[in-house]
Chains A and B, each alone.
Chain A
Amino acid sequence: MDLFANLAHGFSVALTLNNLLFCFIGCIIGTAIGVLPGIGPVATISLLLPITFGQPATTAIIMLAGIYYGAQYGGSTTAILLNLPGEVSSVVTTLEGYKMARRGRAGAALTVAALGSFFAGSVATILVAASGPLLTQVALSFGPADYFSLMLLGLVISAVLAQGSVVKSIGMVVFGVSLGMVGTDVQTGQQRFTFGIPELSDGVGFVSIAMGMFGIAEIILNLERPEARSVMSGKVGSLMMTREEFRRAVPAVLRGTTVGSLLGILPGGGAALSSFGSYMMERKVSRGRHEFGNGAIEGVAGPEAANNAASQTSFIPLLTLGIPANAVMALMVGALIIQGIQPGPRMVEAQPDLFWGLIASMWIGNLMLLVINLPMIGMWVKLLAVPYRYMYPSIMVFCAIGVYSLQNNVFDVYQTVVFGIFGYLCSKLRLEAAPMLIGFVLGPMMEEHLRRAMLLSRGDPMVFVERPISAVMLGIAAVALIAMLMPNVRKGKDAALAEGG
Chain B
Amino acid sequence: MSWALSRRTMLAGSIPACIASRGARAQAAAWPSQPIRLVVPFAPGGTTDLVARLVAAGLQERLGVSVIVENRAGAGATLGSELVARAAPDGYTLVMSNIASHAISPAVYRNRVRYNAVSDFAHIALVVSNPTVWVANPRAGIRTLQDAAAKARGPGGLDVATSGAGSSNHLMVVRMGQLLGVELNHIPFRGAGPAMQAVIAGQVPMMSDSLPSSVAHIRQGSVVAVAIASAQRHPAFPEVPTFREQGFDLASDSWFGLSAPAGTPAPIVARLNRETRAFVALPEVRARFAELGGTPGDLTPEGYADFVQREVALWAPLVQAAGATAD
Residues of A within 8 A of B (CB): 42-43, 45-46, 49-51, 53-54, 139-141, 143-144, 184-191, 196, 198-199, 201-202, 267-268, 317, 321-324, 327, 329-331, 333-334, 337-338, 340, 342-346, 407-409, 448, 452, 455-456, 458
What residues on B are CB-neighbors of A455 within 8 Å?
Answer: 159, 185-187
If A202-B74, A330-B44, A337-B292 touch, whether A452 touches B4 (CB-CB below 8 Å) is no
Name the CB-closest residue of A to B114: A198
Q: How far apart sit A289 and B327, CA to CA, in the bound complex (Å)?
A: 50
What residues on B are CB-neighbors of A333 within 8 Å?
Answer: 45
Name the CB-closest residue of B to A325: B193
Q: How far apart sit A408 and B190, CA to CA, in the bound complex (Å)?
A: 23
Interface string of B131-166 (1 = CB under 8 A from A): 000000000000000000000000011010000111
**18 A-B pairs (CB sep. < 8 Å):** A43-B44, A46-B71, A51-B2, A51-B4, A144-B203, A187-B188, A188-B165, A189-B166, A191-B326, A199-B74, A202-B73, A317-B197, A323-B194, A342-B292, A345-B220, A345-B222, A407-B73, A456-B187
What residues on A are CB-neighbors of B46 within 8 Å?
Answer: 330, 334
If A46-B44, A340-B288 touch, whether A143 touches B203 (CB-CB below 8 Å) is yes
If A50-B1, A186-B190, A456-B159 touch, whether A340 touches B291 (CB-CB below 8 Å) is yes
Q: Say which residue of B56, B74, B186 sits within 8 Å of A201 (CB atoms).
A: B74
Q: Does B75 have its Cβ within 8 Å of any Cβ on chain A? A: yes
Name the CB-closest residue of B to A142: B201
Stretch at the interface among B211-219, B240-248, B270-278, B305-313: B211-219
Are B165 and A186 within 8 A (Cβ)?
yes
What residues on A are CB-neighbors of B185 within 8 Å?
Answer: 455-456, 458
A268 shortest CB reach to chain B, Å: 7
Q: Does B79 have its Cβ within 8 Å of any Cβ on chain A? A: yes
Are B49 and A334 within 8 A (Cβ)?
yes
Q: Say which residue of B3, B44, B78, B157 sits within 8 Å of A42 (CB atoms).
A: B44
Are A327 and B216 within 8 A (Cβ)?
no
What residues on A are CB-neighbors of B215 within 8 Å?
Answer: 342
Q: How far apart sit A456 and B43, CA to CA, in the bound complex (Å)?
A: 29
B45-77 CB contacts (< 8 Å) to partner A: 45-46, 49-50, 53-54, 56-57, 69-76
Q: How far apart sit A338 and B46, CA to CA, in the bound complex (Å)?
A: 12
Are A331 and B1 within 8 A (Cβ)?
no
Name the CB-closest residue of A to B66: A50
Q: Does B173 have its Cβ within 8 Å of any Cβ on chain A? A: no
Interface residues on chain B, number (Cβ under 8 Å): 62
Q: How far apart sit A50 and B198, CA to CA, in the bound complex (Å)?
A: 32
What residues on A are CB-neighbors of B323 within 8 Å?
Answer: 188
Q: How far apart sit A50 and B70, CA to CA, in the bound complex (Å)?
A: 13
Q: Say which residue of A54, A187, A322, A331 sits within 8 Å of B165 (CB atoms).
A: A187
Name the CB-closest residue of A to B195: A323
Q: How far apart sit A338 and B200, CA to CA, in the bound complex (Å)?
A: 25
Q: Does B112 have its Cβ within 8 Å of any Cβ on chain A? A: yes
Q: Say which residue of B112, B156, B189, B216 sits within 8 Å of A344 (CB atoms).
A: B216
- Knowing that A50-B4, A324-B45 are A-B contacts, what are 11 other residue pairs whose CB atoms are under 8 Å apart, sorted by A's residue number? A49-B44, A50-B2, A199-B75, A330-B193, A338-B53, A340-B288, A342-B215, A344-B220, A345-B222, A407-B72, A455-B186
Q: How far apart sit A71 and B55, CA to CA, in the bound complex (Å)?
A: 29
What residues on B are CB-neighbors of A50 within 8 Å?
Answer: 1-4, 53, 56-57
What residues on B are CB-neighbors of A329 within 8 Å?
Answer: 45
Q: Say which residue of B1, B53, B159 sits within 8 Å of A334 (CB atoms).
A: B53
If A187-B188, A188-B324 touch, whether A346 touches B220 (CB-CB below 8 Å) is yes
Q: How far apart sit A198 and B105, CA to CA, in the bound complex (Å)?
A: 13
Name the CB-closest residue of B to A49: B53
Are A198 and B75 within 8 A (Cβ)?
yes
Q: How far apart sit A337 and B203, CA to CA, in the bound complex (Å)?
A: 27
Q: Does B103 have its Cβ within 8 Å of any Cβ on chain A? A: no
B224 shortest CB reach to chain A, Å: 14
Are A408 and B45 within 8 A (Cβ)?
no
What residues on A are CB-neighbors of B128 within 8 Å?
Answer: none
A322 shortest CB reach to chain B, Å: 5
B48 shortest CB reach to chain A, Å: 10
